[in-house]
Structure 1
């Protein structure tokens, strides 16, 4: 099945699966916090959408799907950066703020939104990858 698949197609499939897995974790974390901030809904709905779009694109390479996925991956970058900012501020709002190392362990996970950014960038690389060989 994998014979003949270009690297970009495999990366799109991996990116989609990773988005779906991370979205499950994000949903559990935000549900645990009772969606206290309206921005918590962004990755809960955007993550699975990005996952499904990139997986669909791995199997059906049509121009309209490529365009929609490209725009949504840019939105994913923005969601990840905004989430990183909000999570960093959330750590500072805990008792003891940034000076308390425990806040980085039990507060909002700082790396999870940055993973959304990294996966979105990986998806864009896979989407626009043109091998020179």
Structure 2
């Protein structure tokens, strides 16, 4: 067992995985919002926020001073609330389409699950940071 992963606490592994998840979310949300030509200023929030959260999650795994922890807490809290706002905006966007809240509008309209993924991923990150 000579590799560097042996003996890592679960919190460290979870933060590394959360960093990878935030990066994947960043790729997906950027593609979706680019497709819509960033019509609303709020579309830029997850595009900027997700890679920062990914970067600070991974940074905290390998380099853990207090300022990185504090920055990560602020980023994850902001991502939690912006994910909730994004969920509202996406649900409203589905309802504004012709026909309202019909199944076809959920299929072709704004993805209602993606902002919820940001909210839940941020919540998991905050739980990892504060769990004692």
TM-score, normalized by length of structure 2?
0.96
Counting only pairs closer than 5 Å after superposition, residues 1-133 of structure 1 correspond to structure 2 as 1-98=4-101, 100-130=102-132
Could you say what the CA RMSD is over the residues aligned between the two structures, in angstroms? 0.7
SS at match of 1:97: coil
Q: Which runs of 5+ in 1 are unaligned?
A: none
Deviation per residue, 1:89-116 (Å, 9 max, x gap): 0000100001x21001111000000000
How many equivalent pairs are there? 129
Task: Name the CA distance, whole Å, in 2 between partners of 1:128 and 1:9.
Answer: 13
Task: Name the CA distance, whole Å, in 2 between partners of 1:107 and 1:44.
Answer: 19
Task: Name the CA distance, whole Å, in 2 between partners of 1:89 and 1:105.
Answer: 14
Q: Which runs of 5+ in 2 are unaligned?
A: none
* Structure 1 residue 4: Cα displacement: 1.2
Task: Name the CA distance, whole Å, in 2 between partners of 1:60 and 1:125.
Answer: 19
